[in-house]
Amino acid sequence: MRIKLLYLLVCVLLLSLTGFAQQVSFTMEAPKIVELGEQFRLAFTLNARGQSLKLPELTDFDVLMGPSTSQNSSYQIINGVSSQSVSFSYLYVLRAKKEGRFPISAASINVNGTIYTSNTITIEVVKGSAKPSGGGVDAPTLTPGSVPKSDLFVKLIVDRHSLYKGDHAMATIKIYSKVNLNGFEDIALPNFEGFWSQDVELPQQISLQRETYNGEIYNVGTLKKTLLFPQQTGVITIGKVKIDCVVQQRVKQPKSFFDDFFDNFANVRATVTSDPVIVTVNPLPAGPADFSGAVGRFDLRSSITSTSVKENDAITLRIDVTGNGNIKLINAPKLKLPADFEIYDPKTQSNYTATSEGLNGNISFEYLFLPRFAGDYTIPPVNFVYFDAGVGKYVTKSSQEFKIHVAKGDGTQSANVRSAVSQEDVKFLGKDIRFIKNKIELYPKGDVFFGSFSFYLIYLIGISGLLALYLFYQKRIRENANVARMKNKKASKVALRRLKEANGHLTSGATEKFYEAVTRAFWGYLSDKMTIPVAELNKDRAAAELVNHKASEGVVTRFIQILDTCEFERFAPGGGNRKMHEIYNEACDVMSQMEKEIN
């Protein structure tokens, strides 16, 4: 008893410590957009017990109700660690008095002697719709299948209609709805011809938010966001977006007594199409010769694997470009090396994320080169030139200069080269000397395998083998096509498998399942062997068919007796395990005799 009490005290102590360690959170929530005269909720949420809630100034709104308070608590244990959470809510119902944008300052509350303040919000009040939207309780009667264009439409929104080649614009596809939107059947998107595009990752579940358009409130969902990088100049037209929407619509049936009690709803298909969008792409101004096609804002870093090597040792110079812009489309900057260096094509690796601000990330270029002769060399800075569309001019970033000391080598190629360079990367310079192979194999004139007797013999054997294999498989196909014949051939195997199942029930002592398996084995064997559906078989027909197929009278009698015994024992068991053994042995013997005698 004392141990249980101690355990309870420890749990209470841990829970109290958890409550003290919890960070207090006090938030205010309300719709961002409401209609004039619309009632809406202003909610305050606190994760601790508080008192003396002080509301912000609400002179622009009528307070219709509040505060309505509620409390929610939860306790959970995960991997032996317990935790408790509590939430207090204070709810008010407000109504807007006039149109405009109204900021609401922070509220405050006292928690254990400490004053906490909430966040601030801004509520936009717009003029209400002249008519209620379709699908509501007070919606007007609509012709079934019709949805007003003002209540449901799609827009392709491009944030920039004039930009430089290589710069980016954000294309957003939004659906605007005042109706009960149940989903989409088909979405046809433009192919963004003339642009290199990269989709921005969005949640798979489309969430509808309230927004204003032309002074009215719509439920708006963002279907797709795509970054567009123009690859040509001039005027480019982005095609239309076409969506087949499924709308739940209230319809009126002919007037009846039940109309006052029930509403009728139907799912209708409504097709919405956006307007095409025109984008003007301006050419980049004339730039430096080192321009690599980068448009955006970038930083440059450089590093080298070693500054002191031997002849023919591999050196790697790495250039990292980080920033925001058309990272994927940047070409490798030009690297100027001394004449005695052999250089390979640079390897490029990029890592970026598509966001609403563009492509953020980095691209790296690795230059592998080999100094052929000893001496001291200078690797000049690498110039990276990009166009900053924000200021409309080119910017040059340069890497650092590297001093390389090359010592005398042993005349062999470094193992680092073999590991760092793949076979397809190696290129021979025009000045390299290729040694002549001095091992030459000669063959006697006329001594060739092609056209000889052995060649034709092997050729004929191969053709004969293929022909035999073809005929064998054709025979198998014909046999398999004859379903009745296949069943006849496999009847005994199938029956023995079913008897094996009965033996399993015999071992486990499942009496009813044992006799059922024996009965199923006998009827299945007779059905497959004589090509008669099981549903058409009975004892009299079975006996007649066995006699017609040359089965002896004794086998027929034993066959019928086994079936009678199985039926009796299934519904009036009493023979025990010994009786099951006798029936199993008898069934195996009768099955073997039938297989020998039946034609």
Pairing assessment for the beta strands 39-46 and 26-29 based on DSSP bridges:
antiparallel
Q: Do 297 and 413 belong to one domain?
A: yes
Per the structure, the count of domains in the chain is 5
The reply to whether 4 falls in a domain is no
Q: Do 452 and 396 belong to one domain?
A: no
CB atoms < 10 A from the CB of 31, how many? 16
The DSSP secondary structure of 256-318, one letter per residue, reads -GGGGT--EEEEEEEEEEPPPEEEEEEPPPP--TTEEEEEEEEEEEEEES-SEEETT--EEEE
Q: Do 463 and 393 belong to one domain?
A: no
Provide the pLDDT confidence category of residue 318 given band limits of 50, 70 and 90: very high
The number of helices, as runs of H, and strands, as runs of E, in the chain is: 8, 31
Residue with the larger pLDDT of the pair 102 and 16: 102
Burial class (CB in 10 A: 0-12, 13-18, 19+), 567: middle
Q: What are the pLDDT digits (tens) for 169-193? A: 999 999 999 888 888 888 899 889 9
Residue with the larger pLDDT of the pair 440 and 224: 224
The reply to whether 222 falls in a domain is yes
Q: How far apart are CA 465 and CA 470, in angstroms?
A: 9
Q: How far apart are CA 152 and CA 25, in angstroms?
A: 39
Provide the pLDDT confidence category of residue 511 given band limits of 50, 70 and 90: confident
Please give the helix or strand (H or E) that residue 569 lies within, else none.
helix 553-571
- Domain at 391, CATH number: 2.60.40
Q: Do 206 and 308 belong to one domain?
A: no
Q: Do 492 and 449 belong to one domain?
A: no
Residue where a domain stops, chosen among 240, 259, 281: 281
- Which residue has tokens 């298909």? 269
Share of the chain above pLDDT 70, in %: 79
| Residue-number span of the structural domain to which 240 is assigned | 152-281
| Cβ–Cβ under 8 Å, residues 333 and 290 | yes
Q: What are the pLDDT digits (tens) for 528-552? A: 877 777 777 788 888 888 888 878 8
The reply to whether 135 falls in a domain is no
